[in-house]
């Protein structure tokens, strides 16, 4: 695994996993998000990521969850150089024309740092709670296909036209255009072998998985076949993964598990299953190497205790050198 090929991003807490529950004031909750984003930037992570959800998991609670794209805009101005991504934007929550407009504006505000992560959506309770229709899976995937075309049109055409089953454009003008050319990178989340991975081959700049090494290896072979079928260079697709982990020795892992169980109201065994790739820095580096050997080149690190001062920096200090990643600090 060549160090120059490897990149790491990190999720900042936003409340979705009850990770801001111990901060009582909503304003201070956001300031915690902002501090973590700046800590990640200083530590040398390539990007910060947010989820696009409204209610907490694993069960909806009356707890603050900051909306993804408004938070992106704020964090764009709180940081200077780190990239800004979502893992992933739910296609159903905003018309693709609006999403393209929002992303263009934030790309300008951030001077070209936006990554558009997008997926078909899955959290049915959230859809229904907020009054969104929840189409069946085939329809959600067809909507995603059209959305990808709409977004690219608005990012690249002077006046965008599109006549689809779900979305229509009639001379839509999207100014300002994104800073990044030809457009911000599009990362498509999900491992569906018949449709989602084909969409990656057709429209995506990156795929994203959340699976064990052998499953990832298989999914990448499926992606390779789709790339061949549509005439796409397989190597031009960035392979990424959400990497749920806890860093530390047994005592530290036990502490983080216990604290996370307290905040979420879940059993400790469930918390461990939520973040299975845990251990000391050597163990985490070993796991990263295994995924890298399977073809993954970008790791989005999820630390359940990221809100703790120094947790993000510690991961960078201990793990980066062990995986040959020499970060340029902000």
Q: Where are the domains of the chain?
A: 3-323
Q: How confident is the model at residue 3 (pLDDT cuts 50, 70, 90)?
A: very low
Residues 191, 197, 200, 203, Cα dihedral to 10°: -130
Give CA 138 to chain center in angstroms. 23
Give CA 210 to chain center in angstroms. 11
The two three-digit tokens of residue 135, written as one number: 């189409």
Helix or strand run (H / E) with residue 173: none
Flag whether pLDDT at 2 surpasses 50. Answer: no
**Overall average pLDDT of the 264-287 stretch:** 94
The two three-digit tokens of residue 125, written as one number: 């309770």
- Strand 168-172 vs strand 160-163: parallel, antiparallel, or unpaired? antiparallel
CB atoms within 10 A of CB 229: 11
State how far the Cα of 41 lies from the Cα of 71, in Å rounded to an integer: 16
pLDDT of residue 135: 96
* Half-sphere exposure at residue 43, Cβ-oriented, CA atoms within 13 angstroms: 27
Listed residue (204, 108, 107, 192) closest to 152, CA to CA: 204
- The class (CATH top level) of 3-323 is alpha beta
Listed residue (206, 229, 230) closest to 295, CA to CA: 206
State how far the Cα of 27 lies from the Cα of 39, in Å rounded to an integer: 18
- At a CB cut-off of 8 Å and minimum separation 6, what does 130 contact? 54
Phi, psi (rounded to 5 degrees) for 156: -120, -20
pLDDT of residue 133: 96
pLDDT of residue 327: 57
Phi, psi (rounded to 5 degrees) for 114: -85, 135
Rg (CA), the chain: 19
Residues 262, 268, 270, 276, Cα dihedral to 10°: 110
**Overall average pLDDT of the 258-286 stretch:** 94
Mapped onto helix, strand or coil, the DSSP state of residue 246 is coil
| Reported pTM | 0.95
Q: What are 21-79's pLDDT values in tens digits?
A: 999 999 999 999 999 999 999 999 999 999 999 999 888 999 999 999 999 999 999 99
Adjacent-strand bridge partners of 114:
84
State how far the Cα of 205 lies from the Cα of 191, in Å rounded to an integer: 15
Average pLDDT, the chain: 95
pLDDT of residue 324: 84
Measure CA of the first residue to CA of the last residue in the chain; give whole Å. 25
Q: What are 83-108's pLDDT values in tens digits?
A: 999 999 999 999 999 999 999 999 99
**Overall average pLDDT of the 195-209 stretch:** 98
**Residue carrying the six token digits 């407009």:** 101
């Amino acid at each position: 695994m060549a160090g120059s090929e490897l990149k790491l991003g990190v999720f900042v807490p936003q409340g979705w996993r009850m990770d801001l529950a111990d901060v009582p004031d909503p304003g201070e909750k956001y300031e915690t998000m902002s501090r973590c984003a700046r800590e990640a930037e200083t530590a040398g992570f390539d990007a910060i990521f947010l989820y696009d959800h409204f209610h907490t998991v694993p069960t909806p609670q009356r707890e603050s969850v900051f909306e993804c794209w408004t938070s992106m805009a704020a964090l764009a101005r709180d940081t200077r150089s780190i990239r800004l991504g979502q893992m992933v934007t739910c296609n159903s929550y905003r018309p693709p024309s609006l999403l393209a407009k929002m992303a263009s504006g934030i790309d300008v505000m951030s001077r070209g740092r936006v990554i558009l992560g997008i997926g078909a959506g899955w959290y049915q309770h959230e859809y229904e709670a907020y009054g969104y229709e929840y189409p069946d899976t085939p329809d959600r995937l067809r909507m995603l296909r059209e959305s990808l075309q709409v977004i690219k049109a608005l990012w690249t055409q002077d006046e965008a036209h599109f006549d689809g089953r779900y979305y229509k454009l009639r001379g839509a003008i999207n100014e300002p255009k994104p800073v990044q050319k030809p457009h911000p990178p599009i990362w498509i989340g999900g491992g569906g072998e018949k449709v989602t991975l084909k969409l990656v081959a057709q429209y995506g700049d990156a795929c994203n998985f959340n699976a064990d090494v052998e499953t990832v290896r298989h999914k990448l072979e499926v992606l390779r076949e789709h790339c061949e079928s549509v005439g796409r260079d397989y190597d031009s697709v960035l392979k990424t993964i959400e990497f749920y982990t806890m860093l530390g020795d047994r005592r530290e892992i036990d502490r983080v598990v216990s604290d996370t169980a307290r905040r979420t109201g879940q059993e400790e065994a469930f918390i461990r299953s939520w973040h299975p790739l845990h251990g000391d820095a050597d163990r985490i580096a070993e796991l990263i190497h295994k995924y890298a050997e399977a073809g993954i080149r970008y790791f989005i690190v999820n630390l359940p205790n990221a809100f703790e001062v120094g947790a993000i920096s510690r991961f960078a200090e201990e793990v980066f050198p062990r995986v040959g990643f020499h970060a340029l600090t902000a």
